[in-house]
Amino acid sequence: MDANELNDKGKKMIDFVSSYWQTIRSRRALSVVEPGYLDTLLPNEAPLKAELWEDVLRDVEQLIMPGITHWHSPHFHAYFPTGNSYPAICADILSDAIGCIGFSWISSPACTELEMKMMKWLGKLINLPSQFYTPTNAGGVIQGTASEATLVSLLAARSKVIKDKNLSFQDINSTKMVVYCSDQAHSSVERAVMLLLMQCRKILSDSEHRMNVKALSEAIKKDLEEGLTPTMCVATLGTTSTCSFDDLTEIGKICNEQNVWMHVDAAYAGASFICPEYQYLMEGVQYADTFNFNPHKWMLINFDCSALWFKDSSFMVEAFNVDPVYLQHVNQKVVLDYRHWQVPLGRRFRSLKLWFTMRLLGVEQLQNHIRKSIKLAKDFEKLVCQNPDFEVVNNVILGLVCFRMKGDNSRSKKLLEKITADGKIYLVPSEINGVYFIRFAICSWFTNEGDVNEAWSTIESLSKDISMQETF
Ligand SMILES: Cc1ncc(COP(=O)(O)O)c(C=O)c1O
């Protein structure tokens, strides 16, 4: 393939993408293929001779698309959103074309410097205290996912313990290190703790699904008495099940008092802080050591782009500094090398999509997107509340409504089975303390008022049978 061919095929690809977006409304949100469907449809070996572009594109539509769950369909309301927009896609094309691996400043100076700048833009945009990006050791880095961000933050917290206690690597006993999070924290926290062979203490949440701060304080005290080392506490802003918010001020005071590293996981909710009226939700963030959110969730940036800020990156940078000759460069004492801020060596030019999206949409359009999603969620909440057979089980603050049919869990389970079989919309469930409910998240930037009304009509009409079966 040469540049001329790219000119032709690239344009065709963009046409294909644009037509995909134009037809997404009519595509079934949830794929219905059976496991292994593709194995029988594709040949068992790679082709020896080049095939035609037209044949490949035909197979995309005929073989691949049936196996796609369309996350950007206006009828997709499962999980949390994943971002996308034309500036982000164009920036990723450019990133792929440049194809640099920006592990050190010299490996592509613009890759490092644009990322540093974008993390400052983004930090200011969400009103993150300047302690996270102004002091020499402070700063932001783009990780792939919130799960990686938690792991990286935990590695830094472990380094701090090692430094504080003046331990050598031989003395480290990870199993004595304890990480605290609420029972509503994302499973990736427990996973990071398992990976580092530490102990995870899940603190019970209160009736509003927020970490019980008194229980946290007692757990830390007990662990200290038993000779364990409280190492990190993860506070969540926007929990996965119900989008609840831990109290950063109260948790932060305890962490600072006990010298426990505090990490804030705002994977989904963090994007809402680009709107000043939602910044109150991160009150107390000044107590944290690290803060993370995923622009790739709700800020119209495509996967992967997870923003992580350190107040003091030196625990990460110095503790895992391997410096082989082939990676060294003359400026490494005066510039930042992102290879020290992450687990892998290689890294893509991801800041381009932040730069393109913020410039080409402007902050105002990004804010409009957040505000529109929240308004639609509030509209849906009203519709649910109008039906006496249903109840809303979360405090709807952002774009997630958790609802259920009143009474036994089996009614809501039955309802979700019917919704899934019907296939017009896609929703997933969750359960807290034995109470099963259905999550309705506003995900796609295509979703409008009509879609929300239609989704509710579908749910209501599918629920009618269930009520009748129960009643008669
Ligand atoms: C609160 C929270 N934290 C972490 C994650 C994991 O995100 P990622 O896929 O970026 O690792 C999620 C996923 O939805 C989440 O809701």
Asked if residue 106 and residue 11 are part of one domain, the reply reads: no
- The answer to whether position 94 is within a domain reads no
Name the one residue in this structure whose structure tokens are 């807290």: 432
| Same structural domain, 321 and 380 | no
Sheet with 400-405, side-by-side order of all strands: 390-392, 400-405, 435-441, 428-432
Q: Is residue 223 part of a domain?
A: yes
- Interval 215-220 mean pLDDT: 97
Residues 6+ apart with CB under 8 A from 142: 115, 118, 119, 305, 306, 307, 308, 347, 350, 351, 354
- Concatenating the DSSP letter of every residue in 343-360 gives SSS----THHHHHHHHHH
Return the pLDDT at 472. 37
Amino acid 385: pLDDT? 97
Atom of ligand 1 nearest to the CA of 79: 14
For residue 206, give every residue at least 6 positions away whose Cβ sits within 8 Å of its Cβ, in sequence order, or none: 212
CA atoms within 13 A on the CB side of 375: 11
Q: Which residues contact 415 (CB under 8 A, 6 or more apart)?
A: 405, 438, 459, 462, 463, 466
What's the gap in Å between 8 CA and the centre of ligand 1? Answer: 38
CA 284 → CA 264, 272, 293, distances in Å? Answer: 10, 16, 16
**Residue in 71, 79, 147, 342 to alter for ligand 1 test, most ligand atoms within 8 A of Cβ:** 147
**Nearest 5 degrees, angle CA 315-CA 320-CA 321?**
105
As a whole-number percent, the residues of the chain with pLDDT over 70 amount to 99
| CA 443 / ligand 1 centre spacing (Å) | 15
Over residues 453-467, mean pLDDT: 93
Within 13 Å and on the Cβ side, how many CA atoms surround 166? 0
Q: Tell whether 381 is covered by a domain.
A: yes
Dist. CA 433 → ligand 1 center (Å): 21
C-alpha dist (Å) from residue 204 to 47, 70, 210, 289: 55, 35, 8, 23
CB of 243 closer than 6 A to ligand 1? Answer: no
In this structure, the answer to whether residues 123 and 267 fall within a common structural domain is yes
Q: What's the CA angle centered on 79, arms 34 and 273, to 5 degrees?
A: 155
Task: Answer yes or no: do 282 and 383 share one domain.
Answer: no
Query: What residues are paired with 129 via a beta bridge?
Result: none
CA distance 461 to 309: 46
3-class DSSP state for residue 307?
strand
> Using a 6 Å cutoff on CB, does residue 348 contact ligand 1?
no
Residue 448: give its domain's CATH number. Answer: 3.90.1150.10
Q: For residue range 233-279, what is the model confidence (pLDDT) as tens digits?
A: 999 999 999 999 999 999 999 999 999 999 999 999 999 999 999 99
| Mean predicted confidence (pLDDT) in 288-316 | 96
Specify whether 156 is located in the same domain as 263.
yes
250: domain CATH number is 3.40.640.10
Please indicate whether residue 437, judged by its CB atom, sits closer than 6 Å to ligand 1.
no
User: How large is the average pLDDT for residues 302-315?
Assistant: 96
**CA nearest to 66, candidates 94, 41, 91:** 41
| Helix/strand/coil (H/E/C) assignment for every residue in 152-194 | HHHHHHHHHHHHHCCCCHHHCCHHHEEEEEECCCCHHHHHHHH
- Quote the ligand 1 centre to 282 CA distance (angstroms): 17
Half-sphere CA count of 234, side-chain side, radius 13 A: 33
CA of 146 to the centre of ligand 1 (A): 5
145 C-beta closer than 6 A to ligand 1: yes
How many A from CA of 188 to the centre of ligand 1? 7
267 lines ligand 1 (CB under 6 A): yes
- pLDDT of res. 306: 98
Closest CA relative to residue 80, chosen from 212, 237, 201? 237
Domain boundary among 316, 348, 380: 348
How large is the average pLDDT for residues 341-362?
A: 96
How sure is the predictor about 165, in pLDDT bands with cuts at 50, 70 and 90? confident
Scan for tokens 């709807």, then name that residue: 396
Region of residue 36 (left: phi > 0; alpha: psi -120 to 50; beta: else): left
The total number of structural domains that make up the chain: 2
Is 151 part of a structural domain of the chain? yes
Task: Indicate whether 292 and 406 sit together in one domain.
Answer: no
311's tokens: 């107040």
One domain, residues 456 and 383: yes
CA–centroid distance, residue 186 to ligand 1 (Å): 6
Name the residue with the closest Cα to ligand 1, atom 9: 145
Residue 380 banded pLDDT, cuts 50, 70, 90 = very high
Average pLDDT over residues 366-381: 98
* Structural domain includes residue 93: no
What is the whole-number distance in angstroms between the Cα of residue 231 and the centre of ligand 1? 21
d(CA 93, CA 340): 26
Q: What is the DSSP letter of 204?
A: P
Element housing 264 (H / E): strand 261-265
* Whether residue 294 has its Cβ less than 6 Å from ligand 1: yes
Domain boundary among 301, 323, 348: 348
* Residue-wise pLDDT tens digits, 72-105: 999 999 999 999 999 999 999 999 999 999 999 9
Helices (H), 226-300: 248-258, 295-298
pLDDT band at 469, cuts 50/70/90?
low
- Indicate whether 380 belongs to any domain: yes
For residue 399, the Cα-to-chain-centroid distance in whole angstroms is: 14
Residue nearest to atom 16 of ligand 1 (CA): 240
Length of the chain: 472
| 155 and 243 fall within a common domain | yes
Contact 279, 127 (CB under 8 A): yes
Q: Is the pLDDT of residue 36 over 60?
A: yes
In a domain, 150, yes or no: yes
Whether the per-residue pLDDT at 135 is higher than 70: the answer is: yes
Any domain includes 437: yes
Report phi then psi at 282, rounded to 5.
-110, 25
> Ramachandran region of residue 127, left (φ > 0), alpha (ψ -120 to 50) or beta?
left
Task: Indicate if ligand 1 lies below 6 Å from the C-beta of 456.
Answer: no
Helices (H) and strands (E) in the chain, counts: 13, 11
Domain span including residue 104 = 100-348
Instruction: Give me the amino acid identity at 71.
Output: W
Task: Judge if 124 and 252 occupy the same domain.
Answer: yes
Q: Which two tokens stand for residue 456?
A: 């509710």
Residues 164 and 212 in one domain: yes
pLDDT above 60: residue 289: yes
Residue 470 reports pLDDT greater than 80:
no
Helix or strand (DSSP H, E) at 233? strand 229-236
Q: Is the CB of 441 inside a 6 Å radius of any atom of ligand 1? A: no
For a mutational test of ligand 1's pocket, the pick from 154, 186, 191, i.e. the residue with the most ligand atoms closer than 8 A to its C-beta, is 186
pLDDT tens per residue, range 13-25: 999 999 999 999 9
Q: What is the mean pLDDT of the chain?
A: 94
Q: Assess whether 73 and 119 both reside in one domain.
A: no
Is the CB of residue 242 below 6 angstroms from any atom belonging to ligand 1?
Answer: no
Q: What is the DSSP string of 121-157?
A: HHHHHTT--GGGTSSTT-EEEEES-HHHHHHHHHHHH
Same domain? 197 vs 319? yes
Amino acid letter, 414: K
287 within ligand 1 shell (Cβ under 6 A): no
Of 348, 372, 387, which residue is a domain's last? 348
